Structure formats: structure tokens, C-alpha cells
Structure 1
Amino acid sequence: MVNNKTGQVVTTQMRLNSCRVENHLQPLKYGSGSMIALDTYFTSLSNGMPVDIKVQGPGAVKAFEEGKANYFMKRGQLNFSCATCHVAYAGKYLRAQIISPLLGQSAHYPTYRAAWGAVNTFEKRFQGCDKKVGAMPQKLESVNYRNLEYFMSYISNGIKINVPGYRP
């Protein structure tokens, strides 16, 4: 969702930490096992519901457009964008794994990946992709990653949430 006052994307983990602080609890570190477990549980409460992201208002439109630009921007030593793999090569093999398409990815995060041996978040996946293409990963909950997640979630509108997902 986009906070109408700030015009910034607010992720589930940010909302969870905000709730914790409002209830006099310490915020959890983004990407920590405790945060991922809480995020997975909270998101799983929406299982079976369709993704329904609205892009309304100037902040939302700005975040969507910046997320879209980030998705198609080439980066790193390999000069890849997210679209290089998840649009152009979706369904093909890369390093013995089938590349997933853009459509529906956000509906299954947090997800368990056998390669990780753990459940992880969409933004941790972004960091992993950045590393693999030779780009400098950004911090979790960075504006760029939040906007990217917002764009990718909008593209998955109508797909039913199924958390945690599974990937080999």
C-alpha cells in the first residue's frame, strides 16, 4: 500500500514493525528469522484472496512508475534487468532452474526455496538477483525495493495469494 501522507510504499514488514512499536514492543530487524516468520504467518492469513493493488493518487503513481523503471533497468556486470530473466527467458532453464514469469511472483512471497533451505522474502530475492547479475544489492526496505515490490504486486492483481510459496 502507499501512505497517502508520505507518498511512500509501506510494506507488510513495515506495517508489522509499526504495530509492534505502537504496542510498546521492539521492532524486528528486516530480514531476520523472526520477522520473516511473522510476515509469513500474517500474509498467509490472506491465502486464497486475490492480490488487489490499487494505484491511486500521485504518490502511488510515482511509486508504480519508479518500480516499473527499476524492473526494466539493466544493471550489474551482466547488464541484466529483472525483465531479462522473468519476461524474455520465463519458462526457460538458467543454472538448472526454470525461470519464473513476472505474473504471479508476488502472490507467493514469502516463499520457501529449496536452494536456500528456508523461507525468505521478496526483497531478499531481489538482493539475490542483484548479486547474481553483479549489481550492488540494496538494503532491505529501500525505496527502490519497495517500489519494485509494489509494481510487481500490481502486475499480479487477480492471482490468489498462496503463502508460503515453494521454489526448488
Structure 2
Amino acid sequence: MRRTSMLLTGVAGLAATAFALAQDQGDEIAKYRELLADGNPAELWEMRGEELWKAKAGPRQVSLEACDLGKGPGVVKGAYAELPRYFKDTGKVMDLEQRLMHCRMTLQGLTAEQASATPFGSTGKPSDIEPLVAYITAQSRGVKMNVSTRHPQEKRAYEIGKQLFFYRGGSHDFACATCHSADKMRIRMQDLPNLTAKKDAQAAYTSWPAYRVSQGEVRTMQHRLNDCFRQQRFPEPMYASEAITALTMFLAANANGGVYNGPALKR
């Protein structure tokens, strides 16, 4: 009995030490990000995105400056903080990447395949979408998230997104909620935000898109969610799919009130 008690005490001590080490590591990562914040490489994507936004392109040789992201043609300031949202001209809820694809098709005359080509960049194969997203989202920096769920289609998208968040499946019987619906969860040295809690949702959502140091690229919300599905062993969703828009709506609305601070810097 005494030996069992000693073992339990030892295990508890090891757990406490491990937690303390992990906490220290987390603090160091936070300091690292803070030091690099003023030199975030995402700024290069933002500058290229502005050029792409204003450049005449596509079969019609038209810029994207007339693209309506929800606040009027060409208005980018604060637009991302209100996305996803219902768009009357399409009759559906759209997130930023879905709306950008729509504008590239309707304004510039690109096909769906052309408008969604190379959504995620890699070495020697840059993406036009990631810089455009970086530029647009940066124009909402300092703006509070204010995603509407008033329209029936917005409410519907939110509820579908919530169902997707909690849906379990795949070879590991995982869901988004497996890692992101409880407080103080970790995987290895990585903190896992509770995306059902307002404070965590605000902190997490408002930092994407982000420059990933490990990948040397700016990664959009679509890429982040696709990667989560991959880790759950789910099939990768189609780019700009309704499912991803719905899941984004759930996460974005949960982050309402948080101050947008992207594109951020991630490991």
C-alpha cells in the first residue's frame, strides 16, 4: 500500500514537472513570436497581394478592385472581420476564399479551375491566392470580429459548421472537437485552444492566416482546416467547398468581439 502511494506520488511529481517544462516551452515560443512580430515575412505576401488585387488580369484584363467582399465594391478595410457572410448576388454564405474565387470568375473571366489553381503555394510553385488573402485580411488588422448570424442562411451555415466540428469519423474516430473542445489540452508541446470557449476562439481565429516558419509560406484558413482534416485521417475537402465555409462560419462567429491581428506568425 505504501509502495503504491509512493508510486502515485512519483507519477504525480513527474506529471507536474512535465507540465511545468511544457509551460516554460510555451512561454519561450510566445517570446520568440513576439521578437519576430515586427519582421513577419507575411508582409511580403501582403505586398504581392496588393499588386495582384490592383493588376489587370484574366481574359477580360480587369483588376479585382471592383470585387465586393460585403462592404461595397473594392472596400477591403474591415471586410474580413465580417466574413463569412450571406451575399445576395449569389444567394449563399461565402467565406473570403470562396468570394475571391467568385470575383476572379465574374470580374476577370477566369474558369473555376483557373480561379482555384494552386491555392496553396510551395517551393518553386507560388500561389496567387495566399498573397491576395494576406493583403485582404491585413486590412482588418485592429478591427473587432463581427460576423453576422442573423440571416437564415447564416444561421444555417453556423449550425452545419457546428455539426461538422463535433462530427466523429475516420480511422481514428476523431472530430475537430476531440482536440479543440476542452480547456488546457496539449499535443506534444503545442497548446490546443478550446474553440468552443470565446476567449480561446478569439485568440486562435484572429491570428489566421499566418506565416508558417516550418513551411516558409503564408497559410490561409482553408489550408489550416484542410490540415486538421488530414490529421483526423479524413478525406481532404475540395477547395472553397460549402463544408469548409460552414465550419469557418462556426469558428468565426465564436470569435466575435476579438480583435483581428493577422496575418500572424506560427511555428
What's the TM-score once normalised by structure 2's chain length?
0.57
Contact 2:157 2:246 in 1 (8 A): yes
Once the two structures are TM-superposed, the CA of residue 4 in structure 1 deviates from its matched residue by: 4.1
Report matched runs for 1:10-159 at 5 Å. Answer: 10-24=94-108, 26=110, 27=115, 29=117, 31-32=119-120, 33-88=127-182, 90-102=183-195, 103-104=201-202, 105-159=204-258
**Gaps spanning 5+ residues in structure 2: where?**
1-84, 121-126, 196-200
Once the two structures are TM-superposed, the CA of residue 95 in structure 1 deviates from its matched residue by: 3.2
| CA distance in 2: counterparts of 1:24 and 1:31, whole angstroms | 17
Once the two structures are TM-superposed, the CA of residue 15 in structure 1 deviates from its matched residue by: 2.4
Once the two structures are TM-superposed, the CA of residue 159 in structure 1 deviates from its matched residue by: 0.5
Contact 1:9 1:146 in 2 (8 A): yes
| CA distance in 2: counterparts of 1:83 and 1:136, whole angstroms | 17
Distance 1:161 1:114, change over 3 A: same
Once the two structures are TM-superposed, the CA of residue 18 in structure 1 deviates from its matched residue by: 3.2
The superposition leaves residues 20-60 of structure 1 with CA deviations (integer Å, 9 ceiling, x where unpaired) of: 34443643536242101111111100100011001112211
| CA distance in 2: counterparts of 1:108 and 1:25, whole angstroms | 32
Q: Indicate the larger mover: 125-134 or 46-55.
A: 125-134
Structure having greater relative contact order (Cα 8 Å, sep ≥ 6):
1
Q: What SS does structure 1 have at the residue aligned with 2:87?
A: coil
Letter in 1 for 2:181: V
Q: Which residue of 2 aligns with 1:8?
A: 92
| CA distance in 2: counterparts of 1:166 and 1:100, whole angstroms | 16
Percent of paired sites with the same residue: 26
Contact 2:230 2:236 in 1 (8 A): yes
Once the two structures are TM-superposed, the CA of residue 71 in structure 1 deviates from its matched residue by: 0.7
Q: What SS does structure 2 have at the residue aligned with 1:64?
A: helix
Contact 2:207 2:261 in 1 (8 A): yes
CA-based RMSD of the aligned residues comes to 2.0
**Number of residue equivalences:** 167
Contact 2:86 2:151 in 1 (8 A): no
Contact 1:4 1:59 in 2 (8 A): no
Q: Indicate the larger mover: 148-157 or 33-42.
A: 33-42
Once the two structures are TM-superposed, the CA of residue 65 in structure 1 deviates from its matched residue by: 0.5
Distance 1:40 1:52, change over 3 A: same
The superposition leaves residues 114-153 of structure 1 with CA deviations (integer Å, 9 ceiling, x where unpaired) of: 3333211112111111111211121121111110001100
| CA distance in 2: counterparts of 1:64 and 1:162, whole angstroms | 23
